[in-house]
Every structure is written in structure tokens, then in C-alpha cells.
Amino acid sequence: MFKFDQFKRLIEDFSSIADFLIIYIEEAHASDGWAFKNNMDIRNHRNLQDRLQAAHLLLARSPQCPVVVDTMQNQSSQLYAALPERLYVIQEGRILYKGKSGPWNYNPEEVRAVLEKLYS
């Protein structure tokens, strides 16, 4: 959520030429775990219903793209080394860009540069 507004601008600017998807994964900074001060109050997901409820908090911020949730076995998170958050650009099943781990190294502007290069 650190740079969510930048991510939303990417969607606005490139939705005519690229598909966007958010996969809501395990909570990196759960309030009953290793939490930041002033972070959202989301507890560790104990079941799929918990994860779905947490994803609804993200949906309330109107992401402008589909939001799906990872399995409770964290398959997407593990396959894409996504924890705590990470950006990817994938074209025809091939990873063209793998961003650094967020939140501080999460850089939507790098994705912008990749998309501009691909579609200019």
C-alpha cells in the first residue's frame, strides 16, 4: 500500500495495452505478528475467509484492476518470491521485469519505463 497511488496511475495510463492483476498474498506485517506502527490492523490469516476479508480492505481503495487471493499454502507468494510485495511484468508467459522486494524497493516507475519501452 506504500505506493498504491503510483500503481493506480500505471493502470490508468496503460490499461488499454496491458492487463493488471493484484494477487493478495499472506500479510507481511500482521498486527498480531511483526507489525509496523500505524499499520493497518490486519491479523495473520488463519483461513481463506480471513484472507478474503483482508483483500476487501484493498478493494475498498478501488484498485481499478482485478484482485485475487493467494491460496492458504501461499503458492503465488512462494513461486514469485512476492513477500512482502513485488511487481512483475509478464508477456506471453515470460517474465520481462521482476521488481525488487517492497515496500521500500517497490517501484511502479520502473514498471512504467518497461511498459513505455514495450509499447512505444
Find where cell 511502479 sits.
Answer: 108
* Residue of higher predicted confidence among 114 and 85: 114
Q: What is the pLDDT of residues 53-92, one digit of tens each?
A: 888 988 998 999 999 999 989 999 999 998 888 999 999 9
Residue 67's beta-bridge partner residues?
Answer: 22
Residue-number span of the structural domain to which 29 is assigned? 4-118
β-strand partners of 95? 90
CA distances from 6 to 50, 66, 71, 79, 104 (A): 27, 17, 27, 25, 13
Determine the Cα–Cα distance for residues 72 and 1; give it in Å rounded to an integer.
Answer: 21
| Cβ atoms 97, 118 nearer than 8 A | no
Per mean pLDDT, which of 11-20, 56-65, 94-103 is the most reliable? 11-20
CATH number at residue 17: 3.40.30.10
How far apart CA 20 and CA 5 sit, in angstroms, is 14
Whether residue 35 is predicted with pLDDT greater than 80 in this model: the reply is: no
pLDDT > 90: percent of the chain:
57
Number of domains in the chain: 1
Per the structure block, which three cell numbers stand in for 76? 503465488
